């Protein structure tokens, strides 16, 4: 019996060794086959220099960043360097396999975002998402989800205060002008998921805490709005959901329809009195994911004078990656010498399509950094944002259109939403 056990153990060890060799071979082969980036011509070098100048002169706005989870749960701080050698991403621990041992913490955390790379990337304004994960709602209802949101808001506020020389929360468009003129990052807070809101007084309380945008539903449907990735509950917007949208218009809080079901989207279009946005969504015709928007939806957002802000994650950009199992489990990578990188050009293709369908006044940037996965080549973190400007210039976009895409369009929406609050009319 002992001999049989030893043979079985030896066989198991050989099998494990074979798997390790195969996986290691895949990694090495992928690295060896990765082509070196082509050298720029003298003309392209000149264009890049001009692009950098335009980029750092423009107001650059990122419509969606999920760093708050890493700040609250993993001890990260905006002033840390989240790209040091040996740092590890907490994505898998935060969103996929939270029971894994030995998660990174503090300055061991690898991120897409920190203040140093924000300056390098010319980022002026970002919407920090306050995402009370649907698991809190499903296990403890709106009250538990609301508490989670409040904890994330407090963690963000503490991190901003610790780095007050370099970052300051904005609450109005005028604040953005002042803060960015002082050379600081000007974040705003966005509540991602209407499942925390049970009455209009709670909505007003979040506004008073500094929240300037609400995503009506995230990955879970709830009593008054439905998610694109869950079974319907409200079957669009309930009567209370319509009241929420109306009160957001009155308060001067931006309505965000990323994540919502198509039926909910069209009901929002019917009742909204001011521009709405999709904070991190792409063109469905290029990447057929339920989170993306078809051409009629793109035009409808433009008709409100709103903005569709393109998501950088390969899951929503790349038709080869729109199945989560390919991205999260790595099976797609394992069956290929190397997982195909999403080219930055594909992000520009989505911008091109939205411009062609809706117009250059109605598109912006919504990275999904520190929440999304599988970002494009040359766009792995906030420090790479100037590469977007360079690629837009290579496509022939005018300087004025580039400024609008980088942030001008979103700032226009913020101003119009504020104006409705002030005057009571659009």
Work out the end-to-end distance of the chain between its first and last CA atoms, rounded to an integer number of angstroms.
Answer: 83
| DSSP run (H or E) holding 310 | strand 307-310
pLDDT of residue 26: 46
Is pLDDT of 2 > 70? no
State how far the Cα of 142 lies from the Cα of 117, in Å rounded to an integer: 36
Task: For strands 254-256 and 211-215, give the pairing.
Answer: parallel
Is pLDDT of 7 > 60? no
Tokens of 214: 């609400």
Closest CA to 339 of 316, 314, 372: 314
State how far the Cα of 385 lies from the Cα of 123, in Å rounded to an integer: 8
Domain coordinates of the chain in residue numbers? 1-33, 46-423
pLDDT of residue 321: 83
For 215-271, where are the alpha helices, taking DSSP H only? 239-251, 262-271
Residue 204's beta-bridge partner residues?
A: none
SS3 of residue 335 by DSSP = coil
Residue with tokens 């300037």: 212
Lowest average pLDDT, out of 96-100, 221-225, 382-386, goes to 96-100
Phi (first) and psi of residue 364, to 5 degrees: -150, -160
Contacts of 239 (CB under 8 A, 6+ apart): none
pLDDT of residue 339: 56
State how far the Cα of 20 lies from the Cα of 365, in Å rounded to an integer: 40
Residue 369's beta-bridge partner residues?
A: 65
Residue with tokens 């609008």: 404
Burial of 398 (C-beta count, 10 Å sphere; 0-12/13-18/19+): exposed
Is pLDDT of 327 > 60? no
| Tens-place pLDDT, residues 240-292 | 999 999 999 999 999 999 999 999 999 999 999 999 999 999 999 999 999 99
| Superfamily of the domain at 46-423 | Metal-dependent hydrolases (3.20.20.140)
Average pLDDT over residues 312-321: 92
pLDDT of residue 21: 41
Counting every residue written for the chain, the total comes to 426
pLDDT of residue 97: 85
| Tens-place pLDDT, residues 292-316 | 999 999 999 999 999 999 999 999 9
State how far the Cα of 147 lies from the Cα of 201, in Å rounded to an integer: 15
Q: How many CA atoms lie within 13 A of 69 on its CB side?
A: 24
| Tens-place pLDDT, residues 122-150 | 999 999 999 999 999 999 999 999 999 99
Closest CA to 246 of 98, 126, 127, 420: 420
SS3 of residue 366 by DSSP = coil
pLDDT of residue 24: 42
As a whole-number percent, the residues of the chain with pLDDT over 90 amount to 81
Phi (first) and psi of residue 65, to 5 degrees: -140, 130
For 126-176, the DSSP string reads EEEEE---HHHHHHHHHHHHHHHHHHHHHHHHHHHHHTTTTB----SHHHH
Is pLDDT of 30 > 70? no
State how far the Cα of 250 lies from the Cα of 135, in Å rounded to an integer: 31
Report DSSP state, residue 305: T
């Amino acid at each position: 019996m002992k001999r049989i056990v030893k043979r079985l153990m030896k066989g198991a060890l050989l099998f494990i060794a074979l798997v390790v060799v195969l996986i290691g071979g895949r990694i090495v082969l992928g690295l060896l086959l990765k082509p070196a980036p082509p050298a720029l011509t003298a003309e392209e070098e000149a264009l890049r220099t001009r692009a950098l100048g335009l980029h750092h002169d423009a107001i650059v706005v990122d419509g969606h960043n999920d760093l708050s989870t890493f700040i609250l749960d993993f001890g990260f701080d905006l002033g840390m360097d989240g790209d040091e050698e040996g740092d590890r991403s907490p994505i898998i621990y935060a969103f996929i396999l939270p029971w894994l041992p030995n998660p990174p913490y503090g300055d061991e955390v690898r991120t897409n975002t920190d203040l140093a790379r924000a300056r390098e990337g010319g980022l002026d304004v970002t919407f920090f998402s306050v995402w009370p994960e649907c698991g809190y709602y499903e296990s403890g209802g709106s009250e538990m989800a609301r508490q989670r949101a409040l904890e994330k808001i407090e963690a963000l506020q503490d991190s901003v205060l610790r780095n007050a020389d370099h970052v300051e929360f904005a609450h109005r468009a005028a604040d953005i002008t002042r803060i960015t003129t002082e050379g600081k990052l000007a974040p705003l807070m966005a509540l991602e998921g209407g499942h925390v809101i049970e009455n209009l007084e709670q909505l007003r309380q979040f506004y008073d805490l500094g929240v300037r945008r609400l995503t009506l539903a995230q990955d879970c449907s709830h009593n008054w709005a439905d998610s694109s990735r869950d079974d319907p509950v409200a079957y669009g917007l309930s009567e209370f959901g319509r009241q929420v949208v109306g009160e957001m218009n009155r308060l001067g809080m931006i309505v965000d329809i990323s994540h919502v079901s198509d039926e909910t989207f069209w009901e929002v279009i019917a009742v909204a009195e001011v521009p709405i946005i999709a904070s991190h969504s792409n063109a469905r015709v290029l990447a057929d994911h339920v989170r993306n928007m078809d051409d009629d939806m793109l035009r409808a957002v433009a008709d409100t004078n709103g903005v569709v802000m393109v998501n950088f994650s390969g899951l929503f950009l790349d038709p080869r990656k729109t199945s989560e199992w390919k991205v999260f489990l790595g099976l797609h990578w394992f069956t290929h010498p190397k997982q195909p990188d999403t080219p930055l050009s594909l992000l520009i293709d989505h911008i091109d399509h939205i411009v062609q369908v809706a117009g250059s006044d109605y598109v912006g940037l919504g990275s999904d950094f520190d929440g999304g996965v599988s970002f494009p080549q040359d766009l792995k973190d906030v420090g790479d944002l100037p590469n977007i400007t360079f690629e837009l210039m290579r496509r022939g976009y005018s300087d004025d259109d580039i400024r609008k895409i980088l942030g001008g369009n979103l700032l226009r929406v913020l101003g119009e939403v504020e104006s409705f609050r002030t005057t009571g009319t659009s």
